[in-house]
Structure 1
Amino acid sequence: MSERKVLNKYYPPDFDPSKIPRMKLAKNRQYTVRLMAPFNMRCKTCGEYIYKGKKFNARKEDVENETYLGIRIYRFYIKCTRCLQEISFKTDPQNTDYEIEAGATRNFMALKLAEEQARREEREAREEEANNPMKLLENRTQQSRNEIEMLESLEELRDLNRRQQTVDYSTMLEQYNPAETERERLDREEREDEAFVKSVNFKSKTEGSTRIVTEEIIEEVKEEDINPPAAKVVKPTSLSAGNNNSSTAPPIVKRKTPLVLVRPKAPPAPSAAASTSSVAVAAPTSSATSKPAGLSLLAAYSDSSEDSN
């Protein structure tokens, strides 16, 4: 597929480029370029401020008889946006910057000028020391004198601190040893752990010294609630066999004692032995409560009366 727009042109076989007439142009002619203001500036005629980055249609030309290490230097011409005064500036490849020439003043130049002055003085002093050995000797003597003065002032401050404070810093620094401090701390913790273990008495559960204490609630049951049978009246002759003066005594009636119910509270975590003992103790209690206690008392009374008869 052929190209839509052909860029190459046809050259006939008898084409001779030397026969083409040349235009005679000026050696240093100007070109119109589009650029932005490289720095903030102020017009000298009307005082208009031109900020950095404002776009202009500028004229560009080469600076004659001025280069830096083979690099060309260019000059630009712009016009003020208010009074149309022409402003010119050129490139500065040595400092990678631009330099204002005419028509305006650059803002914020004080800091730049101070830095340039400091660099210039430092360069001049270095060149003077390199070319003048006596100047180098004087500078070294002055530096040594300044160092001695600083050491003397430092020693005076140390003496003043020693008089005001009684702390011996050298001894403190000698005693301070991070490794020893860490070792001592570990030993102290180990001793504390051993003392704590010795202070605690660990008793084995197999030993018979462990006791489970249960809380008991004692309640008195009235005789009307139990409903016992009538008590048996014992003849006075059976009780007073060996006593002659007992015939006048009133008949003795034996009554049963009030029943006492014991309700032990279950322990929070009873062992197997404790549970079996509790079951063994609870069994007679339940049997005793199931049967009325009065029958057993009557049987005992009847036996005693038969024996006496």
Structure 2
Amino acid sequence: MSERKVLSKYYPPDFDPSKITRTRGPKQAGPKVQTVRLMAPFSMKCTHCGEFIYKGRKFNARKETSDEKYYNITIYRFYIRCTRCSGEITFKTDPKNMDYECERGAKRNFEPWREAKLNEETEEERLDRLEREEAERDAMKDLESKVHDAKQEMAISDALDEIRSRNARIEKAEKEGKAADVPTAPVDDLRKKQEEEDAEAARRAFEGRGLPDIGEEEIEEDMVDAPIETPVVTAFLKKPKEKKDFTAALGIKKKAAASATTSMPPPGKTVVAPKPTALLAGYDDSDED
């Protein structure tokens, strides 16, 4: 079997490479289109005949470079034909959601996981929302600062007007040779009056409050000289616990103990044992032969 890959090519005898010239044809008008082999990126239903096209089915498609872009990413458009009615179906890339978008000729089948993913907030939407909130917050902050500055300017202007009027009154009184009647600030008078009222209320509260009765007993002088009776403390003696004899329970026979009346003889004294009268009773009255 010969090899499929041809390494050498046939050149006819009349071949002249100098006659080959590079020619430029007319530029292609419109978007760039090329034929590619692809698989269906999602399952769809043809809107012309109702044919279902499953995901992964292979097609010979036309690839078109569109003018649309997403963050400098080129968006491509693909054209395929329905396998039943040869209706044209168009879909394009969707780099925003990292997917494909069906444009016309077919309807994409329902995918619950895709719907849930689309309802979620993307990173771009989250950034836009944060930027809007930051702008609104800055606007409110600027408004509050402007209101505060306006109030402060009004207070300063009122204080300056009061100082100017007082200085003018004093200067006029000095020219006329009279004592200037400058009223004191009403704030100091109110503060002093409030302090006096608080002191008076505290004094009344402490005067009307009596000391609590803790039930102390009065001690007379005769009771001091009287002797102190000491309470009698009862002492309890601990009785030793008697030991139980378990020999009878175990079946051990014990010899009878000696009589309590028998006492040991003192040292150096001879003790004469008593004669057994019961055994020698028959020998006392016997006659000797």
Query: TM-score, normalised on structure 2?
Result: 0.38
Higher helix share: 1
Query: TM-score, normalised on structure 1?
Result: 0.36
Identify which of structures 1 and 2 has the higher relative contact order when contacts are C-alpha pairs closer than 8 Å and 6+ apart: 1
